[in-house]
Amino acid sequence: MVFNSLQFLCFSVLAFAGYWTLGFTRRGQNLFLLAASYVFYGWWNWRFLFLIAGCSAVNFIAGRIISVSRNCWVRRIALSVCCVVCLGALCWFKYFNFFTGSLQSFLNMVGVKWHPLVLNVMLPVGISFFTFQALSYTIDIYLGKLSPTRDWVEFFVFIGFFPQLVAGPIERATNLLPQFQKARRFDFDAATHGLCLIAYGLFKKMVVADTLALYVDRVFAYPEIYSSITCIIGAMFFSIQIYCDFSGYSDCARGIARLFGFSLMLNFDRPYLATNFIDFWRRWHISLSTWFKDYVYIPLGGSRLGLFKTIRNVWIVFLLSGLWHGAAWTFVIWGALHALFQSLNILKRKFMGVGEYGLVGRIFAVMGLNVAVAFAWIFFRSGDFQVLSRYMKVLFSGKVATSMMQLCAMNGPVVFAFSLLAIGLLGASYFCPRDFRFGSLKSRFVFTLACATAIVFFGMPGGGEFIYFQF
């Protein structure tokens, strides 16, 4: 059940109507949202409800134990159990085949034959998100930053809240959990803001991302028949596609949450206008980057232990971030590239200072960052070394012409024209002032109507799931 589907529209309308018209108390509202969230998650595979419920139960109990115990060993054991359960489930479902396959390849290289067990298990949707969200709750209690909730319903719905369950944002208990601890009343202003966010998110997904996917998928599937220029355009288009796909989901999630009286964190803040990679990761997938910063980078020492250890910590964080995104070495290399870019930024600041950008300098800095980001996205999009090697071979071949007959046979010019149109529409909204989009009721109405019109005339129905559902 995806946001851009008829099933979700029916589900959300029924959930919204029941939530606000049945006169629930605060606990009743939470129970209703928990039931709705589990219906939503169970729509993919009801068996995985035991996984999310078990993860929630372990962290809820551990949080209570950590808060009441004065024995440091008991506290550490409780935290360790949570880490083993959450990260163990993540590794079992997502990384078991990757690790055993990599070990098999290594052993084959040294002449040792080994045939490991291969798991034919579906990856639970959103497991990377809700395990990290649950862990942040327990870790914050352990560090004394948070007091545990005594109400299991509040905690279970905090972990399973359906708008952000399967692809984030990865919410912190300090922000979202208190919102479940007070009664909600319908707020017309918040609801119109939510509808505006939903319309914008669906516009980015259905009009821009799904249109660009037609071009990107063809170029990455058959790079050999295209030119270097076409492959460069394919990489740049994917850079825009994944931004619109993921930020579109985040906008929808925030908008749906607003309809139910909740405020989720901003997950994207115009990342492609950043002038350096430090700034880029303050704007891109903010909930994940701050999670790694707070629970990995800072505990390792952050930037407090000298230049060498700062760069070491950056590499650890980004290699883990790459692996978090997918069980393939291409994702790890994607993380390594960002670690390299980040390290170069740190060295530049260390020895050359921060510096000031004029207008021209800023434009070139933004352009340079976008080229580097798009190059790294090639590794992310390829998924395996076979596709990557084929794409890179054409990218650096210097082949400057593509057979128009081949392009026309695949509707290349038509797809390309629609892709440019989608990017143009995105640009008009991207640089539109936020106060106009989400300010007054009139401006929200105009912007929502414009997004809806674009969806009706240019949207790609049935474009498929959001890219980050696989993570």
Alpha carbon separation from 100 to 87, 103, 106, 196, 324 (Å, rounded): 17, 5, 10, 46, 17
Q: Exposed/middle/buried for 194, CB within 10 Å: 0-12, 13-18, 19+?
A: buried
Integer CA distances (angstroms), 339 to 33, 307, 392, in order: 39, 14, 21
The yes-or-no answer on residue 325 being catalytic is yes
Cβ-proximal residues to 260 (8 Å cutoff; 6+ apart), any chain? 15, 16, 19, 33, 163, 184
Dihedral sign, CA of 438, 365, 323, 343? negative
Marked catalytic residue, from 115, 193, 285, 325: 325
Distance CA 290, CA 266 (A): 12
How far is residue 294's CA from residue 136's CA, in Å, rounded to a whole number? 9
Token couple for 438: 């989400």
Measured CA angle at 407 (ends 405, 411), to 5 deg: 115
Catalytic residues: 325
